[in-house]
Amino acid sequence: MLAVMMVLAMLGLLYRYFFLQVVQNEEYRAQSDRNRIAVRTVAPTRGVIVDRSGNLLAVNTPSFTLAITPERADDLDAVLTSLRDLLGLSETDIELFTEARKRRRPLSPVPLKYRLTDEELAVIAVNKHVLSGVSVLSELTRHYPEGDLLGHALGYVGRIGIDDIDASEKDAYRGISHIGKVGLEAYYEDALKGRLGVSRIETNARGVELKVIDRIEPVPGAHLTLHLDVGLQRVATSAMGNMRGAVVAMDPKTGGVLSSVSNPRYDPNKFVNGISFSDYAGLRDSRDAPLLNRVIQGQYPPASTIKPMLGLAGLNREVITIDTVVPDPGYYQLPGDPRRYRDWILRVRGTGHAEEMNLRDSIAQSCDVYFYELANRLGIDAIAESLDVFGIGSLTGVDLPSEKRGILPSTEWKRRVIGSNWYGGETLIVGIGQGYMLATPMQLAVATTALATRGTAFKPSLVAAVDGTPVQPEALLTVSAAAEYWDEVFAGMVDTVSSARGTAFGMRSGLAYDVAGKTGTAQVVAIAQDATYDEESLTEYQRNHGWFIAFAPVENPEIVVAVLTENSGGGSSAYPVARAMLDYWMSRDE
């Protein structure tokens, strides 16, 4: 009996050995490999961004990163507490570290603090014996060489937060610590981030890396070449000085954005590895709103900049002709309405621009009375239809996130949004670009492009090429009009700069090329019927905005410019900025 039992036991043991070694060989071999071999994701290098001349705008620079491998830390909480005391870690650092742990593979180091200084490296080295699981990694981190010059256009990358990616994207971001937050960095995130690589590493029982078994290299992010010109950007920024506002310059032949300035600015480098609470609060709570990209998010009454477009609409709809004249006593009245709608010139001269005004002179001298009459003849819905073809009140589709569309009012819009009927007096106010109407500087740059090209505008784009492949211009809008109508509008815009009575005559001195332009003064606060605008009695933020749109040279435009200066008093503050930019651009080949 004992012998039989021993034989049965041996048979059972042999069967178990056979089952483990033969039947389940592959399964246990795989488990063994998982214990012996660690799979590491290899982060790709983020794509570089350069301007049209190859100047570096967004690069990756070497830096040292503090990381912790949680499985190797004897007491993770104690290690974090020690590091907080030694390096002054913030609660944000700890929160982002905790979030990053959820996206990493076992035995992978988790970044805690980036861009360690020499002093911080020394502190870690001295205390290494009590910081189990802590390591210092040599990595690439994002850097913006031009600082705040292109902050709003480029945007910035930041450490991945809880709400930055959803569950479906977690695998794509394993091993990647930063993501595009705003600007081009966010809009082109998929192209810039590249694709992860994988490395298989042999480890011992304690997880110590012994050798690399094999590696699939990551695919680096795409290289972006922009239409932006750093030189033109510097000129625009310098000309704006401390004024709040925005500047857009475009190539009318392609829709390429040559310059994009929003004042005040911010330095994107501060956001890359986590901005301090005090610095962020200063930006967030500032009344000057430095985080707002005024180019695409600032919405302002376009004022007299729409007059060339309305003049073209009046000619197209045959409510006026090139020879139509309107009496100008300095104010306008609707039939049966005692209210006087004043022209800005009344405050200056006490009378109108002249006894009678035609379209050309009314554009050049920015005669409100003429455009009150034109608006009354057109009616609000015809005005809305006419400005809609120029893109007012519509998204331009520029390759930046969070663009605003502005407001193009109509009878239907007011009934839907405000819940009341439209009144004739409101039509007059819209006729000079005031009232409910709002536009962004980018919209006016596109509309000016349509004027400059006699009817065609491309979708604005900051990116000219992705990995050397050109981005093809995409048609955005088309405006049709007879050649003589374009000629008349152009003549008025040229006179704005060249005529002695033009509202931008102050920029004429020394011009070596032809410019067509239009000033605008956007009222910020309402002025009572019998009151006058007194800038000295208003606070800074109640003063008028200034606009200037322009293109040059007139016959074959190479550049379109739209300038907004907030609370500057009027268009006379905006055209010097445009002049500086035009001078630079027109002389760049000399």
Report whether pLDDT(85) > 90.
no
The CA dihedral of 319, 320, 325, 327, to the nearest 10 degrees, is 20
Alpha-carbon gap, residue 156 to 211, rounded angstroms:
36
What integer pLDDT is reported at residue 281 of this predicted model?
92
Alpha-carbon gap, residue 215 to 218, rounded angstroms:
9
Q: Nearest 5 degrees, angle CA 231-CA 233-CA 236?
A: 110
Mean pLDDT of 93-111: 78
- Homologous superfamily (CATH) of 230-586 is DD-peptidase/beta-lactamase superfamily (3.40.710.10)
What integer pLDDT is reported at residue 525 of this predicted model?
66
CATH 3.40.710.10 in the chain is located at 230-586
What integer pLDDT is reported at residue 573 of this predicted model?
94
What integer pLDDT is reported at residue 207 of this predicted model?
55
Q: 45: which residues sit within 8 A by CB, 6+ positions away?
A: 60, 140, 194, 218, 220, 221
CATH 3.90.1310.10 in the chain is located at 39-224
| CB contact at 8 A, 503 and 348 | no
Alpha-carbon gap, residue 409 to 383, rounded angstroms:
9
What integer pLDDT is reported at residue 549 of this predicted model?
98
What integer pLDDT is reported at residue 206 of this predicted model?
54
* Backbone phi, psi, residue 342, to 5°: -80, 150
Alpha-carbon gap, residue 522 to 300, rounded angstroms:
8
The secondary element (H helix, E strand) that includes residue 198 is strand 197-203
For residues 41 and 204, which has the higher predicted lDDT (pLDDT)? 41
What integer pLDDT is reported at residue 96 of this predicted model?
79
pLDDT tens figures, 16-31: 888 778 877 777 665 6
Q: Which amino acid is at 255?
A: G
Other Cβ atoms closer than 10 A to 322: 15
Report the predicted TM-score, pTM, of the whole model to 2 decimal places: 0.86
Alpha-carbon gap, residue 251 to 588, rounded angstroms:
14
Instruction: Assign 3-class secondary structure to 105-147.
Output: CCCCCEEEECCCCHHHHHHHHHCHHHCCCEEEEEEEEEECCCH
- Residue the block writes with tokens 């959820």: 102
411-416, long-range: CB < 8 A, 24+ apart: 411/380, 411/381, 412/381, 413/384
What integer pLDDT is reported at residue 374 of this predicted model?
98
For residues 544 and 42, which has the higher predicted lDDT (pLDDT)? 544
What integer pLDDT is reported at residue 132 of this predicted model?
86
What integer pLDDT is reported at residue 78 of this predicted model?
87
Alpha-carbon gap, residue 509 to 486, rounded angstroms:
26
Alpha-carbon gap, residue 44 to 172, rounded angstroms:
11
Report whether pLDDT(419) > 80.
yes
- Provide the annotated active-site residues: 304
Beta-sheet pairing, 49-50 with 224-226 = parallel
Mean pLDDT of 531-542: 68
Mean pLDDT of the chain: 90
Percent residues over pLDDT 90 in the chain:
66
**pLDDT band per the 50, 70, 90 thresholds, residue 69:** confident
Helices 307-316/368-378 angle, 10° precision: 40
Other Cβ atoms closer than 10 A to 94: 15
Report whether pLDDT(172) > 90.
no
Other Cβ atoms closer than 10 A to 540: 11
Choice among 81-90, 255-264, 314-323, 549-558 with the minimum mean pLDDT = 81-90
For residues 535 and 553, which has the higher predicted lDDT (pLDDT)? 553
Topology adopted by domain 39-224: Penicillin-binding protein 2a (Domain 2) (3.90.1310)
Beta-sheet pairing, 197-203 with 257-263 = unpaired
Nearest to 162 by CA among 106, 97, 105, 113: 97
| CB contact at 8 A, 429 and 518 | no
